Chain A
């Protein structure tokens, strides 16, 4: 492979993978938050129904 323009090729692919990875992290952290909230609300509803 010719090394001409290789730096910009590296920038391009790095940027692409950074964007995809950041999106996946965002999804995972939101998923965890939703799971925690769901568990909290389920236990609250169960407690209210008992009392």
Chain B
């Protein structure tokens, strides 16, 4: 059943992604100021939005684990964080390439970019600390606390370009201010959906691996007790 869901999600994601890339590269006009490079927005921003979605799921499941002590929630949490961290890396790298072209520098230490880098490092820390703890309950509990702590950075990332007295190098919000042209909105929304579908398939694969890993842990304990 889970395998079927993964295949369906992956095929759907591929179809949506390919048709959207076709629209982005052949159907949309160049942006007046930036030329062709603005098309990075159709992968750069959807990656960040999806990372925030998966980190929010990990926050909820971490709290659920602490409340119910059910390891399923811990597995969902680590799966979402792993995929979310990959998306933040993708966001940072594509943003840096865009910045090099538009600003002439690979990196600017403004609030948005620095808080996003902090976000990447916090969740990377989660992924590095986790395997260092052998005892499963202790590992899941500490991981849940780190996930909740790391999530505190997300509102800062979101607010960094919206705070009234903060000047940032990063462009301001384009969705709620209505500065994005109407013809760009549909491919942008479909880009978010495509990355969500790809990453949901990856989370399901990762979840399956976590379940198998727990079985390995229990078999090892059984072997030691025999």
Chain A residues proximal to chain B, CB less than 8 Å? 1-6, 8-9, 11-13, 15-16, 19-20, 23-24, 27, 30-31, 34-35, 37-38, 41-42, 44-45, 48-49
Contacts and interface: CB of A to CB of B under 8 A. Distances in A.
A31 B90 contact: no
A48 B98 contact: no
Nearest to B10: A24
Interface string B70-98: 00000000000001001001100110011
Contacts of A8: 37, 40, 97-98, 100-101
Interface in B82-123: 83, 86, 89-90, 93-94, 97-98, 100-101
Nearest to B34: A5
Contacts of A4: 35-37
Interface stretch (B139-147, B149-157, B204-212): B204-212
A48 B226 CA distance: 8
Given A9-B40, A12-B98, A34-B212, A41 B90 contact: no
Q: Helix, strand, loop or mixed for chain B's interface?
A: helix
Given A15-B94, A16-B43, 19 more contacts: A2-B35, A2-B36, A4-B37, A8-B97, A9-B40, A12-B37, A12-B40, A15-B93, A16-B93, A19-B90, A20-B90, A24-B202, A31-B205, A38-B215, A44-B223, A45-B219, A45-B223, A45-B226, A48-B223
Interface residues of B, number: 37
A10 to B, nearest CB: 9
Given A2-B30, A15-B97, A42-B219, A9 B209 contact: no
A3 B59 CA distance: 43
B97 A11 contact: yes
B198 interface: yes
B25 interface: yes
B176 interface: no
Nearest to A28: B205
A20 B37 contact: no
A27 B206 contact: yes
B43 A5 contact: no
A27 B44 CA distance: 22
